[in-house]
Copies of this chain bind each other. A is one copy, B any other.
């Protein structure tokens, strides 16, 4: 008998039929002798409907009241899933974030899980009950209803698995697992049987949209091994776990791509302390999320900064930077480039293997693809290319590292 924690997203519980499907899956696990805690999201569409109502009432909804409002979505779905299970004869019970003992901190709509007191859940498990737990929510120490922001239900599942010392934690989603690359782009992309936390984090932040980074970070911090798998079939998914020795044998785990990127370059910046801070703070104030940053001193002794962002942030970034640039120096100039994309090679094997970047660049060059910016981390090499070449680039890199073939 294993204790299994599962997470079902909003699509998986998006209708009464799907709720019955989820209940069936849970019942099967139960019938096999397992203890089950299922974390569920709000029914797909419910949250959007509630947000639409607030938008009709106010242009600046209070975040405290948004938490009160939006947390009802999960509260409804846990009751409905529980009732569907009970109708199938399964002894099930729902728990809200508060009842699950999830204590949070931080500001409204962006809660962080501080701790979990699993007393109530443990009691229900001891009574032999299946638990349906509300994702995305907790109780702040001051008694406020608190939601956890994007990806909050994944976070709930991983935290609950940690608190209950679960044997298995499954994030059930609409993809089969984590692939070596996007299968819609790279035909022979392969589902990874396992991936390390760090690789998953790098992939998450470079375009592989399976999970939010912070859930992976939480799992890493508390050593929660989890599996990303499909809620539509019973295929094994991808295990996300602490790295181990065999993992380093593989140089590159996967190739992520991220489209719709844009670049701003500012030239002629006086080489003085505080210049970068001035520019980046101005972008932060304008809520522009910066991705790659490159900075260098040109031959004329003036600095130049380049950074990338989502294309749809480009206009806002330009508007915010204009007055700042004018103040920096009469020589400062701003250039923009849209229509670029980012390609990232990720793998902890890079730490012990040399020549990864060289091999990657050579493959891109042979495919006739020009490289824009380059950044690296300990386990990642990322480059920008023109957006229309990103698919060719991904296929070339995927092939040169032999990612279509399972390592021995």
Contacts and interface: CB of A to CB of B under 8 A. Distances in A.
B143 A57 contact: no
Given A54-B83, A72-B72, 19 more contacts: A16-B56, A16-B57, A50-B76, A53-B80, A58-B87, A61-B83, A62-B82, A62-B83, A64-B94, A65-B82, A65-B83, A65-B86, A65-B94, A66-B79, A68-B79, A75-B75, A96-B145, A98-B98, A99-B143
A98 B98 CA distance: 11
A93 interface: yes
B76 A58 contact: no
Nearest to A16: B56
A292 interface: no
A112 interface: no
14 contacts: A16-B53, A20-B57, A53-B80, A57-B80, A58-B84, A64-B94, A65-B94, A68-B78, A68-B96, A69-B75, A69-B79, A75-B75, A96-B145, A98-B98
Nearest to A145: B96
- Considering residues A50, A69, A143, which has the most beta carbons from chain B within 10 angstroms of its beta carbon? A69
Enumerate the 6 nearest inter-chain pairs by beta-carbon distance, A residue then B residue, closest first.
Answer: A69-B79, A72-B72, A58-B87, A68-B79, A65-B79, A58-B83
- Considering residues A19, A65, A75, which has the most beta carbons from chain B within 10 angstroms of its beta carbon? A65
A120 interface: yes
Interface range, A side? 35 or more
Interface of A: 16, 19-20, 50, 53-54, 56-62, 64-66, 68-69, 71-72, 75-76, 78-80, 82-84, 86-87, 93-94, 96, 98-99, 120, 143, 145
A7 B72 CA distance: 22
A256 to B, nearest CB: 38
Contacts of A59: 87
Copies, count: 2
A120 B99 contact: no
Given A76-B50, A79-B66, A143-B99, A87 B57 contact: yes
Contact of A62 (B50, B61, B71, B86): B86
A49 B96 CA distance: 21
Contacts of A64: 93-94
Contacts of A96: 68, 145
A347 to B, nearest CB: 45
Contacts of A54: 79-80, 83
Contacts of A56: 16
Contacts of A65: 79, 82-83, 86, 94
- Considering residues A54, A68, A80, which has the most beta carbons from chain B within 10 angstroms of its beta carbon? A68
A89 to B, nearest CB: 11
B75 A68 contact: yes
Contacts of A83: 54, 57-58, 61-62, 65
A138 B347 CA distance: 52
Nearest to A23: B57
A66 B76 CA distance: 9
Given A76-B50, A96-B145, A86 B58 contact: yes
A143 B123 CA distance: 13
Contacts of A94: 64-65, 68
A98 B68 CA distance: 12
A68 B77 CA distance: 10
A166 to B, nearest CB: 22
Given A65-B94, A84-B57, A96-B145, A75 B72 contact: yes
Contacts of A87: 57-60
